[in-house]
Amino acid sequence: MKTQTFNPYLPSWEYIPDGEPRLFGDRVYVYGSHDRFNAPIFCMNDYVCWSAPKDDLSDWRYEGVIYRKNQDPKNKLGLRLLFAPDVVQGTDGLFYLYYAFDFMGIMGVAVSETPVGPFQFLGHIQYPDGTLWGRRKGDQFPFDPGVLVDDDGRVWLYSGFYTPTPAIVTGGIQLKNDGGTVMELEKDMLTIKTEPKVIFPKEGLGSFRNHEFFEASSIRKDGDRYIFVYSSRHNHELCYAVSDRPDGGFRYGGTLVSLGDLFMDGREEEKDGLNYLGNTHGGMLNIGDDWYIFYHRQTNRHSYSRQACAEKLIRTPDGHFLQAEVTSCGLNGKPLEGKGRYEARIACNLWSKDGVGRYDGSNPKGRLKNHPYFTQSGKDREKDGDQFIANIRDGSVAGFKYFVLSDLRRIEVALSGSAEGVMELSFTPDFSVINSVIVVRLEGKQKSFSGNVSADDGVKPLYFRFCGQGYVNFHSFELK
Same domain for 75 and 187: yes
What phi and psi values does residue 335 have, to the nearest 5 degrees?
-60, 155
Query: What is the predicted pLDDT for the residue at 359?
Result: 86
> 364: pLDDT confidence band, cut at 50, 70 and 90?
low
Domain that holds residue 227: 20-334
**Is residue 212 flagged as an active site residue?**
no
> Could you tell me if residue 14 is inside a domain?
no
- Segment (H or E) for 458: strand 458-479
Query: What is the predicted pLDDT for the residue at 362?
Result: 59
Secondary structure (3-state) at 225: strand
Same domain for 346 and 295: no
> Could you tell me if residue 4 is inside a domain?
no
Going through 289-435 in order, the beta strands assigned E by DSSP cover 290-299, 302-313, 336-337, 340-343, 349-351, 373-376, 387-392, 397-405, 410-426
Same domain for 74 and 113: yes
Query: What is the predicted pLDDT for the residue at 368?
Result: 83
Query: What is the predicted pLDDT for the residue at 204?
Result: 66
Query: What is the predicted pLDDT for the residue at 366?
Result: 62
Same domain for 126 and 170: yes
Domain count along the chain: 2
> 168: pLDDT confidence band, cut at 50, 70 and 90?
confident
Q: Quick one: which of 476, 473, 216, 231 has its CA closest to 344? A: 476
Q: Which whole number is the average pLDDT over 304-320?
A: 96
Query: What is the predicted pLDDT for the residue at 179?
Result: 93
- Show Cβ contacts of residue 319 under 8 Å, excluding neighbours closer than 6 positions: 222, 225, 242
Q: What is the largest CA-CA distance in the chain?
A: 74
- Segment (H or E) for 167: strand 167-170
Catalytic residue among 14, 18, 20, 72: 18
Same domain for 150 and 122: yes
Query: What is the predicted pLDDT for the residue at 363?
Result: 60
- Show Cβ contacts of residue 141 under 8 Å, excluding neighbours closer than 6 positions: 105, 134, 160, 161, 168, 170, 175, 176, 177
Q: Report whether 85 contacts 31 (CB < 8 A).
A: yes
Q: Quick one: which of 145, 251, 122 has its CA closest to 196? A: 145
- pTM tops 0.85: yes
Catalytic residue among 86, 139, 212, 215: 215
> Could you tell me if residue 13 is inside a domain?
no
pLDDT (tens digit, 9 = 90+) per residue, 330-339?
A: 999 999 999 9
In whole angstroms, what is the distance from residue 216 CA to residue 370 CA? 31
**Is residue 184 flagged as an active site residue?**
no
Q: Is the peptide bond before 196 cis (omega within 30 degrees of 0)?
A: no
Assess whether pLDDT exceeds 80 at residue 297. Answer: yes
